[in-house]
Amino acid sequence: MSETNQPSKVDKHAVHTAGGARVGATILGAGMALPKTVLTNADLEKLMDTSDEWIRQRTGITQRRIAKRELGETTASLGTRALQAALDDAGMRPTDLDQIVVATITPDMPTPSAACQIAANLGAGNIAAFDLGAACSGFVFALNTVDALIRSGNARNVGVVGADIITRHVDYSDRGRGTSILFGDGAGAFVVTGSDDPDTGVLARAMHTDGSRWPDLFIPRADDDFPADFDHDGHGVDINCLHMNGRAVFKFAVSTFGDLIQETLDKVGLKPEDVDHYVCHQSNKRILDAARERFGLPEEKLHINIDRYGNTVAASVCLCFSELKAANRIKPGQLVMFLGFGAGLTWGSSLWRL
Ligand code: COA
């Protein structure tokens, strides 16, 4: 991957000379990368007993992207393209980065991490690079982690990537129709840098887990990974497949999403209308509409792109923000609340002043 010719805006080594001064964090660049192949609802009708109308009514999705290895589309390659786009947007080079954090549950290999592969692909040199796994909450958890690393003086210029190829774990037969229709592949990335203004960066955060509810959404690697009362074929067909209790997750998401917004606003004494953008994990349009209606938010404050990409796991929040930024709808000083929830079960928020 070639380096950008644009001059670097940020001093990579400034963190080592900060001398304890308070610093903020800012999102300097954003980018995204999508697989070439589009999988429409009409395509799914040919693979399983479903209909375009059912999928659109229940989820708001009309199409999604699906990664193909034969086209060189891997978690690391999509993540590399997304981070390079974010670096270009920030006017920075890969060698300006001192850390890369990748939110993913589908690294191409158990080891090396996707972050190590992306660092190598970009020629980022000898930097800290690691993956963080919190499923669909992963990118929001990564943003909170990176803000804390920067504010504590332990990082300065960080590439934060959300990348998943979840369709590797999806069953496109009738048996999987309640799950497969939701998901798509993709990657997004931010370049987050230290800022001299301590009032930029995370104003409030929430990170939650209810591990007892893991059976609602899981990918087993062996027969004995299944919960005891789970109805599965016992002959390996369901291994490595994403299993979801759709109704339970739906109910959880509708109540949790609203409660999470309220919890985050309460931490800083803000009203729902004070926030300029709610950038949410795209799980189901009905879940997002419910949150919008509960707080009386206008459509332009809660961006929805699930119709085109489906649920892209850790990528979805940064795909949303990248689209808003590319459309010049993101301005300095604005308040942006990032929200995610997913397998684990996990849920979290990150409220930023840009
Ligand atoms: N096409 C047509 N019919 C389908 C179907 C499909 N793809 N998938 C399921 N059905 C059928 C079911 O078999 C069921 O039939 P029955 O009534 O004869 O038993 C009927 O549609 C209703 O199924 P149900 O599961 O109750 O539908 P739903 O309204 O809950 O919608 C989801 C299903 C998956 C769209 C919805 O539950 C959901 O979005 N859940 C949240 C998932 C989520 O967000 N996961 C990610 C978290 S990060």
When pLDDT is averaged across residues 18-34 and rounded to a whole number, the result is: 86
One fold for 3-197 and 202-353: yes
136 is annotated as an active-site residue: yes
Q: Which amino acid appears at position 352 of this protein?
A: W
Beta-carbon-side half-sphere exposure of residue 52 (alpha carbons within 13 Å): 9
Architecture of domain 3-197 in this structure: 3-Layer(aba) Sandwich (3.40)
Q: Is the pLDDT confidence value at 22 over 80?
A: no
Pocket test for ligand 1, best of 57, 58, 213 (most atoms within 8 A of CB): 58
Closest CA to 338 of 305, 303, 306: 303
When pLDDT is averaged across residues 282-304 and rounded to a whole number, the result is: 94
Q: pLDDT tens, 183-233?
A: 999 999 999 999 999 999 999 999 999 999 999 999 999 888 999 888 776
Q: Is the pLDDT confidence value at 14 over 90?
A: no
When pLDDT is averaged across residues 241-266 and rounded to a whole number, the result is: 94
Domain ranges in the chain are: 3-197, 202-353
Q: What is the structure's pLDDT at 1?
A: 42
Q: pLDDT tens, 112-126?
A: 999 999 999 999 999
Is any ligand 1 atom within 6 A of the Cβ of residue 242?
Answer: no
CA dist., res. 186 & res. 234, Å (int): 32
CA dist., res. 166 & res. 172, Å (int): 12
CA dist., res. 119 & res. 100, Å (int): 7
Extract the tokens encoding 309: 């990409």
Q: pLDDT tens, 142-170?
A: 999 999 999 999 999 999 999 999 999 99
Q: Kindly report the protein residue whose alpha carbon is nearest to atom 12 of ligand 1.
A: 178
Q: pLDDT tens, 94-110?
A: 999 999 999 999 999 99
Q: What share of the chain is helix, strand, coil (3-state, %, to 5)?
A: 40, 25, 35
For the ranges 2-16, 178-192, 296-310, 325-339, the lowest mean pLDDT is seen at 2-16
Pocket test for ligand 1, best of 137, 140, 174, 247 (most atoms within 8 A of CB): 247
Q: What is the structure's pLDDT at 16?
A: 38
Whole-prediction pTM: 0.92
User: What is the CATH number that goes with domain 202-353?
Assistant: 3.40.47.10
Q: Is the pLDDT confidence value at 59 over 50?
A: yes
Q: What is the structure's pLDDT at 234?
A: 58
Q: Quick one: pLDDT band at residue 12, thresholds 50, 70, 90?
A: very low
